[in-house]
A and B are shown apart, each in its own frame.
Chain A
Amino acid sequence: MRKGILIWVTVFLFTFLLGLAAWAADKPPVKIGVVQPLTGQGANVAKSWLEGMNLAVNMINKEGGILGGRKVEMVVEDDQCIPAQSIAATKKLIHEDKLKVILAAMCSSATIADVPITKEAGVVQIVSLSFADSITEMGNPLLFRTCTTNKILADGMAYKIAQEFKVKSMAFYSINDDYGRGLVEQTKSIFEKLGTPKVLFEGFFEFNDRDFSAPLTKMKGLKPEGLYLVARFPQNAQILNQMAELGFKSKLFGPINLVADDCIGAAGKNVEGAYGVVNWANELDTAGAKKYVNAFKAKYGKFPEDDFSMCGYTGTMVSAMGIDKAGTDQDPQKIGEALRKLKWDSPNGPLSFDAKGQGTIKVYVVQVKNGQRVLLK
């Protein structure tokens, strides 16, 4: 009888030790959810974004991971920039994968659709590449935005157009979604407040439009001195090329997308001289920026391309730091608290969050010169 117990105890102890050894050797990774448009409109932007994300994951894991040596792993879902798809992807990450921190999404309209889902489930949502102002106004206490907003972008460019470049008349041509409409609205309201420039034209197009000749011909007739263009790739390049085909010239202004590498590559000389309001320029030399550029060059053998990889990097870093500082990847409340207290030297500059979860982000104005973005002082 006593011998039997002894055998059982030995077997139990042995199994326990074996399990412990296995656990120590291979701690489960910390999983973070990602919803991005891997296909469809925005796929190109997401590619750059994922580069930045992978860079951050690499750096974290190389330095020994988080939560006492656990590696970070991203679970990526495709939402094609479609709000309904985005909701499905977010729900999958929350309910099937049981993740507590989710980076969602890219297209503002998709992100806006995701907010009620994460709010109801009580998980942390990190927004790293959606600019619509309403996202941080939707009352999700666990939402943090690590990128700029339409308002910040509009402020960064509109005053320059009116006061520094002294443009007298403007046309707006934009994608018909929350990002485009929001940015046009914000910029226009600043022009109205200043009383200059005069807005001659305001038009919107759909994401599947390819023929812009009719609106561009109309704009050509109105002769605006400047054109504010809000379009993602490839539409921005197509619009610029069709402008040249129709002989319509205007000073070009726009957000990040207009001066991003994909657009410069496809539009060539037709985007020369364009002004863009951006979050990132290779000339930035803060400590956070240097660290990012060096790591990027070491991994990919080139300079960071545009804002998008920086946004992916920042969002991923912030998510990992939140989990690490909270000491858990299972308690969204604690992670939220840690993020509220976070202070970090991001590539863009010192980053912390306000009461609504909006990060402090600076914008810069660049100009395309000889196919390169040049930072304006």
Chain B
Amino acid sequence: MSSFLFQKMELFLQQLVNGLVIGIIYSLVAIGLTVIYGIFDIINMTQGTFFMIGAFAAYFLTKNLGVSYFLSIPLAMIITGVMGILVERSSVRTLRGQQNIVFLLSTMGLMVLLENLALVLWGATPRQLPSPFAPEPVVFLGVFLTRQKIFLFLCATVMILLVKRFIKGSRLGRSMRAVATDQNTAALMGIDVNRVFIATFGIGAGLSAAAGVLLGPIFDIEPAMGHLTLIKAFIVVIMGGMGNITGAFYCGLILGVAESMGAGYINVDYKDAFGLIIMILVLLFRPQGLLGKGGLR
């Protein structure tokens, strides 16, 4: 009997860990999305595309240029960050003052364009981003984990903490929060709004790219890999409150664990439905999000 219970416990822990690993990825992408929403008040459809571009940039760097995987993470973030700045320049800044739906369409158009570009360059066949770690799992308390997953979790957590510190403590971060609260007043106070815009898109794209590089060796990379991630990031942003970084962090983890537990203990076939059900419930009963709407809190 006790071994039976012990085994149940192991499975429960395994599901919890599975959920946390995928959840932190949701958090990373969602934080990028929520930061951009907080500053611009727009929904950036290319957030999933940045995730894909980051993974492919790392693939190119490691496979074609022989860069190590660890070095490819910051490099891919920088490359994708620059892409993000270009996206801001091309399809956000030029349309300033337009209605929200215009940005939804312009970034969506860009998403389709960039994805098809990736399709032309790399084809639809999934590729594997090589992991620097041994594929054999580490077993701890009956929970199986690969080293890549452990690295992913630690690396993502550190990045999220750094971004939070940056926005809270640095000068540019303070400017970002000021712009998020009131753009015009911030500009009148002498804050360079354009600089804030550039930084925001750079950070948003970079975080998504990091998620792509970290997840690449676990799930394969392919041009369409950003779709599901984008949907999940939307759910997380709505759950956590639009523009709320802390909310996105916790709700990413909550979503990951809810999916994992839902699939493990309720019904496997409705794995993706659990997140959507939570989103609908949040919209019905707490539309400001679980942690409240925030000007980049």
Contacts and interface: CB of A to CB of B under 8 A. Distances in A.
Contact of B125 (A43, A204, A221, A246): A43
B269 A203 contact: yes
Given A39-B124, A203-B269, A245-B146, A213 B7 contact: no
Given A214-B264, A234-B126, A245-B146, A39 B220 contact: no
A293 B11 CA distance: 48
25 contacts: A40-B124, A40-B224, A43-B123, A43-B124, A43-B125, A44-B125, A203-B268, A208-B227, A209-B271, A210-B220, A213-B22, A214-B15, A214-B19, A214-B260, A217-B14, A217-B18, A218-B263, A220-B14, A221-B11, A238-B220, A244-B135, A245-B137, A245-B146, A246-B144, A247-B139
A247 B22 contact: no
The winner among B19, B135, B263, B264 for most chain A CB atoms within 10 A is: B263
B220 A204 contact: no
B11 A217 contact: yes
B203 to A, nearest CB: 26
Q: Could you say which interface size class chain A belongs to?
A: 20 to 34
Interface of A: 39-40, 43-44, 176, 203-206, 208-211, 213-215, 217-218, 220-221, 234, 238, 241, 244-247, 266
A211 B220 CA distance: 10
A211 B20 CA distance: 12
Nearest to A210: B219
The winner among A203, A214, A215, A218 for most chain B CB atoms within 10 A is: A214
Given A39-B124, A211-B219, A234-B220, A217 B135 contact: no
Nearest to B227: A208
Contacts of A40: 124, 224
B228 A208 contact: yes
A247 B125 contact: no
A362 B7 CA distance: 44
Contacts of A266: 128
B112 to A, nearest CB: 14
A126 to B, nearest CB: 25
A203 B135 CA distance: 26
Contact of B15 (A211, A217, A244): A217
A218 B135 contact: no
A264 to B, nearest CB: 15
B33 interface: no
A160 B191 CA distance: 74
Interface string B219-230: 110001101100
The winner among A211, A215, A218, A245 for most chain B CB atoms within 10 A is: A211
A214 B18 contact: yes
B259 interface: yes
B119 interface: yes
Interface in B258-281: 259-264, 268-269, 271-272
A208 B22 CA distance: 15
Nearest to A208: B228
B259 A214 contact: yes
B264 A218 contact: yes
B68 to A, nearest CB: 23
B11 A220 contact: yes
Nearest to A266: B128
Contacts of B263: 214-215, 218
Contacts of A246: 14, 137, 144
Given A43-B124, A215-B263, A176 B15 contact: no
Given A215-B263, A247-B137, A208 B18 contact: no
Nearest to B149: A245
A241 B144 CA distance: 13
Contacts of A238: 219-220
A366 B229 CA distance: 38
B264 A210 contact: no
The winner among B126, B228, B261 for most chain A CB atoms within 10 A is: B126
Contacts of B269: 176, 203-204
Given A176-B269, A214-B271, 15 more contacts: A210-B219, A213-B22, A214-B259, A214-B268, A215-B264, A217-B11, A218-B11, A218-B264, A221-B8, A234-B126, A245-B135, A245-B144, A246-B14, A247-B137, A266-B128
A51 to B, nearest CB: 15
B272 A206 contact: yes
A215 B124 contact: no
A235 to B, nearest CB: 9
Nearest to B223: A39
Contacts of A234: 125-126, 220
Nearest to B142: A247
A355 to B, nearest CB: 37
A247 B144 contact: yes
Interface in B1-24: 7-8, 11, 14-15, 18-19, 21-22
A217 B137 contact: no
A203 B14 CA distance: 19
The winner among B11, B139, B225, B271 for most chain A CB atoms within 10 A is: B271
A373 B264 CA distance: 34
A255 B8 CA distance: 32
Contacts of A208: 224, 227-228
Given A238-B220, A247-B139, A210 B7 contact: no
Query: What 6 pairs across the A-B complex have the smallest Cβ distances?
Result: A214-B263, A210-B219, A203-B268, A213-B18, A221-B11, A215-B268
A148 B90 CA distance: 52
Contacts of A218: 11, 15, 263-264, 268
Contacts of B146: 245
Contacts of B18: 211, 213-214, 217
Nearest to A38: B124
